Chains A and B, each alone.
Chain A
Amino acid sequence: MRLEPKPASSLAASILYPLGALLATFVIAGLLVMAAGANPISVFGLVLKGAAGSQFAILETLTRATPLIFTGLAVAVAFRAKLWNIGAEAQLYIGATVTVILGTGALPLPAIVLIPLLMLAALLCGALLLAGPAWLKIRFGVDEVVTTLLLNFIVLLFVSMLLEGVLKDPMSLGWPQSAKVITEAQLPRIIAGKRLHYGFVIAVALAIALWFVMKKTVLGYEMRAVGHNAGAARFLGMPVNGIVMKTALLSGGIAALGGFSEVAGLKGNLTLDLSPGFGYTGIVVAMLAMLNPIGVIFSAIFVAGIFVGAAAMSRAAGVPSYIADVIVATSLLTMVTAIMLSRYRIRWR
């Protein structure tokens, strides 16, 4: 068996390969479900029903997808320039923290002013949080995988300290949670009485904007060049360090917006379980999307649907909802394989 590079991947291939990967995922996961003694067809049926079988299910999936779109975009942007931002989790928490600090009454402003202001504040703080590791990388060659990963723990402990101290809601009966943000700081619900909020719309708009940035702008072009070969980019006159820094600011800011969206749109306050690892799952989401911003919307919905659907299935069929982790992990492996196959041709014989 040999691999040969292909000249350019076609549009058909870019649709067919991910579909093939999806199919392979369900075959492999199906075998595991069978091993667990259940019927894969009915289990997947239940997952699908739980994820998309009713208006409630669909809204729940989209609600869960919203933070994943933000973190997925943050990772996609960074990885495109080979800036390995593993710290979307920390950036998300910083965005949420800033939102509760400024949004619980400190700024008595109308919503039309307050919401953009909170978004801007979250964006800036997330950007600054990733600027540190980016600077260390540029200046001293410190590996950003290590620094951004460690920052996740530092920030989470920092948030925990705030929630036990200055940010603790006096009415919380001792729970480490912040006060609720004021009404003017809340993102409206898309359908009254349902959980899906305008954070989803912001996320989708952001994805489209980033697609445009990557495809059509000088910055997107520079980021791709730096990602492919920083040495050549430098020789060709690109300001490589500046581009890495801009990428970091963009990526960190986007992840922090995810934190804003969760607090202002869904939860209302800050707790230590605001994110069940959205920052890390964002890496999977971005990889599944082959780092394409529009693809991130779909891969985030896919991953969210699996988790939401598996939870419902597990209640009905008794198969542990861990199958969701298995499906998501398997889909990552098949997708990485599909990406390779879309770039290289396999020659048997």
Chain B
Amino acid sequence: MSTNIPALRLTSITKRFGPLTANDTISFDVNQGEVIALLGENGAGKTTLMNILFGHYVADEGSVEVFGQTLPPGDPKAALAAGVGMVHQHFTLADNMTVLDNIALGTQSLFRPRLDRAAAKAKIAGLAQDFGLSVKPDALVADLSVGERQRVEILKALYRDARVLILDEPTAVLTPTETDALFKTLKLLVAKGLSIIFISHKLHEVMAASDRVLVLRAGKLSGERRTVDTNRRELAELMVGREITPPAVPAVPRGRVLFELSGVSTVRQAHGTPLKQANLILHGGQITGVAGVSGNGQAALAGLVAGTETPSAGTVTVNGNAISGWSPRAALAAGIARVPEDRHSQGAVADMSVMENVIAEHYRDARFSRSGLLDWAAARKFTQSIIEDYNVKCPSPDARIRLLSGGNMQKLILGRALDPDPSVILANQPSRGLDVGAVAYVHQKLLEARSRGAAILLISEDLEELLALSDRIVVISEGHLSRPSARGELTVRQIGEMMAGHEAA
């Protein structure tokens, strides 16, 4: 094969959803052994483009070529056969099957239903060894962590001899350590001649791991840079068309105690570590950041604030009242705003409309219902105001929320949570999957709430975010909460050590 044929060539791809042009005459090449980072605001059309590439969607115009051969549109099987592998934004593994079965699923002829397990296992072991993708082939996927699942997804693609690998926001759900490991793996893959396209909103990753950057804006290819020739500022500007300045953190006087955990333990749930004897005080006008490797008790902590978890020992005090009969409803009634970690299974009912989702936490209030009757006119007005205030890109308040891009869904959830001025705010991974502009916006909204005197609990895996916003930081490790330290008291390095389970000296 001659080396000047690009691994992948997209020629003027256009995709419309009704009046919306999600991809507008996009053309580019990907060379063999190249890592491309695809950047763009939420809703810019990145996922749509990758879905066309992989055959999930059919483009209205344009064509995709892999090693010089045009792919038949809308045929993921043909894409797979041509060597295109995709790891989706939301994973597509069968939970009730083993890792081995998931990887080998669909690779065998129907007429030979007995899988040659030994051979499959050997091949997986070889790939895992070569590329640093350690997995337990006989484990059930349901029991795996997010990072492990992603390794399985990548193995699945490699098992089918992928030569072009597409990763849609692979690092959004990974811990920093897992992210580092992923990028090491990608380096090894490129060394073997694979080409890689990955989508990310984290500019430092883009700078560290890519050879070339493509920027999408409102469906159009708005810029293309060699990574060595650009910087984070320029990329951010290409993406959103203006300079992004992180919001200033004003000085706010510390308010009274609005939320308190004293000696709180929880029982073990299906996933994650329970809390052990946790103490935590949230003051009004302060952001308390929680740092930690995911799975160390963050879910239990968030659940206690959100009302989905009840303490098995110790007391939770909200606004000076010790709680009893804690539930999501009680938490809402106590003025707690919740931005959950998982937008799809908790934050929204995906198949209901934007409007129905926006009123979901407060439909019982007098402003939306009277004597059991809903006031849809008021709901629509409120929804429209959130769409405008938060600059949400969505076709109409009646569209199903499932169709919104991740970032736009997050803005709606934030708008919903912050509306009746809450006294306590749980922000669990609030900027996960958001573009730089949206992140700045979410941060600004949280800081505004802080200025109004709200007590904010910010749980995040992004240390940069934590250090930028938090008045105080606590570290969570194996269900234990550390004593809080004030802004600037700890270095990144010290926090890292505490996250690994060592108390700071």
Q: Per-residue CB proximity of B268-296 to A under 8 Å, as 1/0?
A: 00000000000000000000000000000
Cβ of B395 within 8 Å of any chain A Cβ, yes or no, is yes
Instruction: Determine the residue in chain A with the shortest Cβ distance to B307.
Output: A237
Cβ of A273 within 8 Å of any chain B Cβ, yes or no, is no
- SS class of chain B's interface: helix, strand, loop or mixed? loop
- B356 close to A349 (CB less than 8 A): no
Residues of B near any A CB (own CB < 8 A): 17-18, 55-58, 73-74, 306-308, 327-329, 331-332, 338, 340, 345-353, 356, 360-361, 363-364, 369, 372-374, 376, 395-396, 398-400, 402-403
Cβ of A272 within 8 Å of any chain B Cβ, yes or no, is no
Complex CA–CA separation, A219 to B17 (angstroms): 34
Pick the residue among A8, A218, A225 that contacts B349 (CB under 8 A): A225
Q: Per-residue CB proximity of A219-249 to B under 8 Å, as 1/0?
A: 1010011001101111111110000000000
Cβ of A139 within 8 Å of any chain B Cβ, yes or no, is no
- B332 close to A237 (CB less than 8 A): yes
Instruction: Determine the residue in chain A with the shortest Cβ distance to B396.
Output: A8
- A237 close to B349 (CB less than 8 A): no
- B74 close to A347 (CB less than 8 A): yes
- A236 close to B328 (CB less than 8 A): yes
Known pairs A7-B395, A228-B350, A232-B349 / 10 extra A-B pairs, C-beta < 8 Å:
A7-B400, A8-B398, A217-B374, A221-B356, A225-B360, A231-B346, A234-B308, A235-B340, A237-B329, A347-B58
- A236 close to B361 (CB less than 8 A): yes
- B360 close to A236 (CB less than 8 A): yes
- B329 close to A239 (CB less than 8 A): yes
Most buried by B among A2, A232, A239: A232
- B349 close to A233 (CB less than 8 A): yes
A5/B372 contact (C-beta < 8 A), A228-B349, A349-B73 known: no
Can you offer 23 A-B residue contacts whose CB atoms are under 8 A? A2-B56, A5-B400, A7-B400, A7-B403, A8-B396, A216-B373, A219-B372, A225-B352, A225-B356, A225-B360, A228-B351, A229-B349, A229-B350, A229-B351, A232-B347, A232-B348, A232-B349, A235-B308, A235-B328, A235-B347, A236-B328, A347-B57, A347-B74
Residues of B within 8 A of A217 (CB): 372-374
Residues of A within 8 A of B398 (CB): 8
Residues of A within 8 A of B361 (CB): 236-237
Query: Which 6 A-B pairs have CB atoms at the shortest separation, nearest pair first?
Result: A237-B329, A235-B346, A237-B328, A236-B360, A347-B58, A2-B74
Most buried by B among A1, A8, A217, A347: A8
Q: Per-residue CB proximity of A161-196 to B under 8 Å, as 1/0?
A: 000000000000000000000000000000000000
- A232 close to B346 (CB less than 8 A): yes
Q: Per-residue CB proximity of A93-125 to B under 8 Å, as 1/0?
A: 000000000000000000000000000000000
Q: What interface size band does chain A fall in?
A: 20 to 34
Instruction: Determine the residue in chain A with the shortest Cβ distance to B343.
Output: A232
Residues of A within 8 A of B55 (CB): 2
Cβ distance B326 to chain A, nearest Cβ, rounded Å: 12
Residues of B within 8 A of A225 (CB): 349, 352, 356, 360
Q: Per-residue CB proximity of A331-349 to B under 8 Å, as 1/0?
A: 0000000000000000101
Cβ distance B434 to chain A, nearest Cβ, rounded Å: 20
Chain A, range 1-39, C-beta contacts under 8 Å to B? 1-2, 4-5, 7-8
Instruction: Determine the residue in chain A with the shortest Cβ distance to B55.
Output: A2
- B356 close to A218 (CB less than 8 A): no
- A349 close to B58 (CB less than 8 A): yes
Complex CA–CA separation, A219 to B329 (angstroms): 16
Cβ distance A107 to chain B, nearest Cβ, rounded Å: 32
Residues of B within 8 A of A219 (CB): 372
Instruction: Determine the residue in chain A with the shortest Cβ distance to B328.
Output: A237
Pick the residue among A2, A7, A221, A349 that contacts B399 (CB under 8 A): A7
Complex CA–CA separation, A218 to B350 (angstroms): 19
Cβ distance B300 to chain A, nearest Cβ, rounded Å: 15
Complex CA–CA separation, A228 to B191 (angstroms): 46
Complex CA–CA separation, A306 to B347 (angstroms): 45
Cβ distance B105 to chain A, nearest Cβ, rounded Å: 20
- A231 close to B400 (CB less than 8 A): no
Residues of A within 8 A of B58 (CB): 2, 347, 349
Complex CA–CA separation, A330 to B331 (angstroms): 49
Complex CA–CA separation, A281 to B364 (angstroms): 36
- B400 close to A232 (CB less than 8 A): no
Complex CA–CA separation, A347 to B56 (angstroms): 10
Complex CA–CA separation, A347 to B59 (angstroms): 10
Complex CA–CA separation, A2 to B58 (angstroms): 8
Complex CA–CA separation, A347 to B308 (angstroms): 42
Complex CA–CA separation, A194 to B20 (angstroms): 58
Instruction: Determine the residue in chain B with the shortest Cβ distance to A221.
Output: B374
Complex CA–CA separation, A237 to B361 (angstroms): 6
Instruction: Determine the residue in chain A with the shortest Cβ distance to B57.
Output: A4
Residues of B within 8 A of A237 (CB): 307, 327-329, 331-332, 360-361
Complex CA–CA separation, A32 to B396 (angstroms): 46
Cβ distance B71 to chain A, nearest Cβ, rounded Å: 12
Pick the residue among B307, B348, B363 that contacts A218 (CB under 8 A): B363
- A7 close to B18 (CB less than 8 A): yes
- A231 close to B369 (CB less than 8 A): no
A5/B306 contact (C-beta < 8 A), A221-B374, A225-B356, A236-B328 known: no
Complex CA–CA separation, A218 to B57 (angstroms): 38
Complex CA–CA separation, A250 to B57 (angstroms): 42
Residues of A within 8 A of B396 (CB): 8
Cβ distance B238 to chain A, nearest Cβ, rounded Å: 29
Residues of B within 8 A of A239 (CB): 329
